[in-house]
Chain A
Amino acid sequence: MNWTLFFVFVVVLGLLPVVWPDPYVLSVMGSAGIMIIAAISLNLLLGYTGQLSLGHAAFFGIGAYTSALMSLGFSVDLGFGLTWQVDAKPVWIAFLTAIVVTGFFGWLVGKLAFKVRGAYFVVITISFAQVMRMISLNWTDLTEGPMGLISIPALTLWVPGEGVISLTSKAAIYWLVLAIGILAYLLVAMLVNSRQGRAMIALRENETLATSVGIPVTYFLALATIISAAIAGAAGGLYSHTVRIIDPDVFLFIYTVTMVIMVIAGGKGTLGGPVIGGLIFGLMPELLRGVVGPEVQWVIYGVTMIAILLFLPRGLVPAFYDFIAWLRKPGAEQPRKSKSSLVQGANS
């Protein structure tokens, strides 16, 4: 990881609300940021363990619903005269609960789904997201069904001299998303550069070989899924406390697809990939808005996705590094090539 580049990037992003305090820009950047956090979490699973989860919106949605429900409080009749009642909890407690709960679901899905691989794993994860959507639509006692949950409280922050303030201004939300995004990025960066991360990459490259040298497959895949799900849950929690209204649409397949596009476009298995891909695909709808209708936006979205897969299947970040290397030494052996071809090798 290039630390200088990282710091420059963080400082530039951090100063954005100061140099360009336009509420619309900040709000768009904030929403893109939430999707980028989700994409970072997906990249851990897709890019580093090589498992394509097409149900990632489920973790996002579970995080969003858990955090919202805990902060609002709920009372559900479970039948047999039992009632499950939870009083409204402070927002941050709700947020942390959401992370733990999604982590648990990640463990569950990881435990169950990793009995199978490839197309089968994909279909299980899709089904999981669909079942979650059906539950959120139909368990109206808990989720209010299609009406969704409204008046979700905002996250708060204790500021010296100001006391506890609600993070509701566009700039505050932007900084909050940025801060959690940086945390998620660093967590994934640390993980993939650790012994555990190397084990995950080894599994991606050659599962049989990795198993033969004693890497416990299920353990590491479950670990990756738990952390990935927990980060996606945090993104969901952020979503529900910043947008402050959620409905079952958070489980839609298209959100998973958006996360996948972000990761693939930027470059799966690279730390910068989901961020770059997320900025492109998070901002593209906003840039196209007003120019063309929503259907055409989605068509452009889909065409871009196909074009990237056909012409730059490894993503923009590896392509960019190759290009830099080529500029420095045209025709020579490219130093980055070995690493990125390893990444590519995982897909084939």
Chain B
Amino acid sequence: MDEIFQHIVNAMVLGSTYALLGIGLTIIFGIMRVVNFAHGELYTLGAYVAYGMVALLKLDFFSSILVAAAVGMLVGALIEFVFLRRKDLKNIDEVMLIMIGIMIVMQNLELLAWGGVAKIIPTPFSQDPISFGSISIAPTRLFVFGVAAVLLFIFYLGIERTRFGLAIRATFQDQDAARIVGVNVKRIYTLTFALGSAMAAVAGALLAPMFVATPMMGDLASLKAFAIVILGGLGNLGGAALGGFLLAFIEEFGASYISSAYRDAFGFLVIIIVMLFRPQGLFSVKERVG
């Protein structure tokens, strides 16, 4: 029984970062209809920025996460401005391929810059796990969960309670109508992409201390982000958050009780199954196929 609680705790921690990753991807898809293959690279970027700040510039871990968010935001805005603004976004395949091109370039620049050796990101937390009865959790993980949960909450407030959030929701529902009532859709696009990228970068900066940073870590992150987003329904923000936790639970329990070798395969199997029976996603009420 305790074992199950331990798995639940692990899954919650993992799920919180997955949710960040998924929301970033799904907001970009929901608003711009862009399938962002570079998402995993922004995640990697976040991890390396955090590493650079902590290990090389001796910045503290907390500020390094903020720097990672800022860099992710900047790079995201740049990608949108340079590559996507000039393209007709309705042309979904071409945009997808441009994003794959960006993915290849970013990944190999990361390889060039950092080499293939995995980097360990030092954190100020002690290695000794905190125990609650028979359940133990490493302080780093607890911190990761806390930050992710706070960010998810801020994001929710931002979307639901601010004017900017209102503009985003309006663009989400109907671009033309949003444009008519004076929403600067182009600016929303840039901001959306920057915001989504920042979330991926933060997820990278948060997850990397739990594992290690490698240039190839983005590949799996991208695919997992897709799995999360598909679970929740493409473009469904709440669904992506739930999907993140769901994927973490599937992986954690699948790895513990079925086969740990196939840990990463469960997500893909779930994608295929969800696609076959509920292509609109598990948590969508309404079809949102572009």
CB B210 to nearest CB in A, in angstroms, measures 22
CB B56 to nearest CB in A, in angstroms, measures 21
Q: How far is the CA of A257 from the CA of B108 in the complex (A)?
A: 15
Considering only residues 272-290 of chain B, those with a C-beta below 8 Å from chain A are 272, 275-276, 279, 289-290
**What total of chain A residues lie within 8 Å of the partner, measured CB to CB?**
42
Task: Kindly list chain B residues whose C-beta atoms are within 8 Å of the C-beta of A302.
Answer: 101-105, 108
A332 in the interface (beta carbon within 8 A): no
Q: How far is the CA of A295 from the CA of B111 in the complex (A)?
A: 7
Decide if A309 touches B230 in the complex (CB within 8 Å): no
Q: Knowing A118-B290, A131-B268, A257-B100 touch, does A138 contact B262 (C-beta < 8 A)?
A: yes
Decide if B101 touches A309 in the complex (CB within 8 Å): yes
Q: Knowing A52-B96, A131-B268 touch, does A310 contact B87 (C-beta < 8 A)?
A: yes
Decide if B83 touches A306 in the complex (CB within 8 Å): yes
Interface string of B124-162 (1 = CB under 8 A from A): 000000000000000000000000000000000000000
Decide if B97 touches A309 in the complex (CB within 8 Å): yes
Decide if B92 touches A310 in the complex (CB within 8 Å): no
Considering only residues 113-163 of chain A, those with a C-beta below 8 Å from chain B are 113, 115-120, 122-124, 126-128, 130-131, 134-135, 137-138
A313 in the interface (beta carbon within 8 A): yes
Interface string of B81-115 (1 = CB under 8 A from A): 00100111011111011101111110111011000
Decide if B97 touches A260 in the complex (CB within 8 Å): yes
Decide if A295 touches B108 in the complex (CB within 8 Å): yes
Interface string of B196-227 (1 = CB under 8 A from A): 00000000000000000000000100010011
Decide if A299 touches B35 in the complex (CB within 8 Å): no
Q: How far is the CA of A24 from the CA of B158 in the complex (A)?
A: 60
Considering only residues 165-200 of chain A, those with a C-beta below 8 Å from chain B are none
A303 in the interface (beta carbon within 8 A): yes
Q: Knowing A122-B35, A303-B101 touch, does A130 contact B268 (C-beta < 8 A)?
A: yes
Considering only residues 9-64 of chain B, those with a C-beta below 8 Å from chain A are 29, 33, 35
Q: Which residue on chain B has the smallest CB distance to residue A293?
A: B112
Task: Kindly list chain A residues whose C-beta atoms are within 8 Å of the C-beta of B86.
Answer: 310
B177 in the interface (beta carbon within 8 A): no
Task: Kindly list chain A residues whose C-beta atoms are within 8 Å of the C-beta of B271.
Answer: 123-124, 127
Q: How far is the CA of A130 from the CA of B276 in the complex (A)?
A: 17
A305 in the interface (beta carbon within 8 A): yes
Selected from B92, B100, B112, the residue in CB contact (under 8 A) with A295 is: B112
A348 in the interface (beta carbon within 8 A): yes
A296 in the interface (beta carbon within 8 A): yes
A264 in the interface (beta carbon within 8 A): yes
Decide if B279 touches A120 in the complex (CB within 8 Å): yes
Q: How far is the CA of A328 from the CA of B116 in the complex (A)?
A: 52
Decide if A128 touches B35 in the complex (CB within 8 Å): no
Decide if B108 touches A298 in the complex (CB within 8 Å): yes
Decide if B108 touches A120 in the complex (CB within 8 Å): no
Decide if A134 touches B262 in the complex (CB within 8 Å): yes
Considering only residues 294-327 of chain A, those with a C-beta below 8 Å from chain B are 295-296, 298-299, 301-303, 305-306, 309-310, 313
Q: How far is the CA of A119 from the CA of B107 in the complex (A)?
A: 23
A253 in the interface (beta carbon within 8 A): yes
CB A111 to nearest CB in B, in angstroms, measures 10
Q: How far is the CA of A130 from the CA of B270 in the complex (A)?
A: 12
Q: How far is the CA of A305 from the CA of B105 in the complex (A)?
A: 10
Q: Which residue on chain B has the smallest CB distance to residue A305?
A: B101
Task: Kindly list chain A residues whose C-beta atoms are within 8 Å of the C-beta of B227.
Answer: 127
Q: How far is the CA of A113 from the CA of B264 in the complex (A)?
A: 21
Task: Kindly list chain A residues whose C-beta atoms are within 8 Å of the C-beta of B112.
Answer: 293, 295-296, 299
CB B27 to nearest CB in A, in angstroms, measures 15
Decide if A119 touches B35 in the complex (CB within 8 Å): yes
A211 in the interface (beta carbon within 8 A): no
B248 in the interface (beta carbon within 8 A): no
B78 in the interface (beta carbon within 8 A): no
Q: How far is the CA of A124 from the CA of B35 in the complex (A)?
A: 13
Q: How far is the CA of A254 from the CA of B37 in the complex (A)?
A: 12
Decide if A122 touches B96 in the complex (CB within 8 Å): yes
Q: How far is the CA of A119 from the CA of B87 in the complex (A)?
A: 17
Decide if A305 touches B97 in the complex (CB within 8 Å): yes
A119-B96, A309-B97, A348-B91 given. 17 additional CB < 8 A pairs? Answer: A124-B275, A128-B268, A130-B223, A137-B261, A254-B104, A257-B104, A261-B97, A264-B97, A296-B108, A298-B104, A299-B108, A299-B109, A299-B112, A302-B101, A302-B103, A305-B100, A305-B104
Give me 21 A-to-B residue pairs in the complex whose CB atoms sit less than 8 angstroms apart, sorted by A's number: A52-B96, A112-B272, A119-B29, A123-B230, A124-B271, A127-B223, A127-B275, A130-B264, A131-B268, A131-B269, A138-B261, A293-B112, A295-B112, A298-B104, A298-B108, A302-B102, A302-B104, A306-B101, A309-B94, A347-B93, A348-B91
Shortest beta-carbon contacts, A-B, top 3? A302-B104, A134-B265, A302-B105
